[in-house]
Amino acid sequence: MQDIDERDLGLQPLDKMMNEWGIDNHQLVEVSTEQLTHKQVQKARKGRRLTLKMMQKVTRAFNVAIWGQLSDEQKEAYYEYMHRDLFNYAKGHDADWVDPNKSIQEELKS
């Protein structure tokens, strides 16, 4: 049996980014076409280890939720997030990665 510390990896970058974009769990569930549940989103945010397929499902819903907030001009400049950007245990994750969508976030807040 796996040790609890191996499964629970702490708050993920996804959690911080959802807060920055003003997106809640319900919005992700609502925009997903892949039967994403509130429980799955909560596990993703809190750092419960997910399968690659589940990380990708959450990432797709996250991108769709943001896409719906953007103007046509912002959509042109939008960087589509990948699972490695949202989960610190994903293969290829870079802890020093800088979000290229910061300027779009700031435009939406003002």
pTM for the predicted model, two decimal places: 0.90
Percent of the chain with pLDDT over 90: 86
CB 79 within 8 A of CB 101: yes
pLDDT tens profile 36-80: 999 999 999 999 999 999 999 999 999 999 999 999 999 999 999
Residues near 2 by beta carbon (within 8 Å), at least 6 away in sequence:
none
Q: Which residues pair with 8 in a beta bridge?
A: 48
Beta-bridge partner residues of 48 = 8
Grouping H, G, I as helix, E, B as strand and the rest as coil, residue 94 is: coil
Averaged confidence pLDDT in the chain: 92
pLDDT of residue 1: 43
Domain of 72, in residue numbers? 4-109
Tell me how many domains the chain contains: 1
